[in-house]
Structure 1
């Protein structure tokens, strides 16, 4: 892709994000896991910072599950419930719990949100990581059935060069 094609594509993506945030209040970016066995997918919001709340990111879930969780959390925030680090909550009918944690260095990952708010990576929008449990165990607990790469501890995630967003652009 040449520079003009890339700029045209970015302009279209910017318009898509802007229209989605205006219409629904929130845009979700899903990044597919790379080819490495230790790679994991993740999904994050764009739009919460505009209503005075950190953006949200979740690791290791399918696109549908991550999107559902983030949309439910967005609705909570939109309705006046500020999520707080250390808070653990669940949703009616769901056995899984979710823990809210500060996500350090969001500028390393939240490209769409920072582009939307015109913020350089070093002055990134803030973010909270949502960590989900499996049968009552969080990643640091005995009995957690997945490796630590599925839900990396906040501040330990490193974007693999072969991870790519769900748009198929290879970014």
Structure 2
């Protein structure tokens, strides 16, 4: 169990924490109503399998898996997730293995199945009141490194510390 999950578990019995979580839940619901989804960014943890990442909350309510990006800055993560989530909110159904590009952006993304969403999308599961073992589904948006090289390519310049493979990391 990650440090974050243990901390949240311990905190939920404190009345002040419960009041704060109620306010956060109300704010999140307002954000999702106004923008169709929200982006949650999580800084890197202390362990090697706890990288910085971000994910959407709200796409599951539109009938689509949530989206996750790992190993990028908060600003880049929000930009990518906002753009791709907007496509979903506008009716686009994304598919595993799909390559996403835009004319004005040099980046490339590939959608991959995230096999352990219960260890990653904690806020989405809280919002939809789902336990980790019955987590909302999620896709990991795997990004191409400099030179359009993906983690599965032989000449990928950095190891899993740069962008861990789906299912090998957690919140």
TM-score (normalizing by structure 2): 0.87
State the distance in 1 between where 2:50 and 2:170 align: 9
Greater relative CO (CA pairs within 8 A, separation 6+): 1
Give, in angstroms, the shift of residue 153 of structure 1.
1.1
Structure 2 SS opposite 1:84: coil
Which residue of structure 2 lines up, in the alignment, with residue 44 of structure 1?
55
Q: Structure 2: which 5+ runs fail to align?
A: 1-10
User: Is it true that 1:24 corresponds to 2:35 in the alignment?
Assistant: yes
Give, in angstroms, the shift of residue 67 of structure 1.
0.3
Structure 2 SS opposite 1:157: coil
Give, in angstroms, the shift of residue 83 of structure 1.
0.8
Give the alignment's Cα RMSD to 1 decimal.
Answer: 1.6
Which residue of structure 1 lines up, in the alignment, with residue 138 of structure 2?
127
State the distance in 2 between where 1:124 and 1:36 align: 23
State the distance in 2 between where 1:38 and 1:105 align: 13
Q: Structure 1: which 5+ runs fail to align?
A: 160-171
State the distance in 2 between where 1:79 and 1:132 align: 22
Give, in angstroms, the shift of residue 51 of structure 1.
0.7
Give, in angstroms, the shift of residue 76 of structure 1.
0.8
Which residue of structure 2 lines up, in the alignment, with residue 81 of structure 1?
92
The structure with the largest helix share of the pair is 2
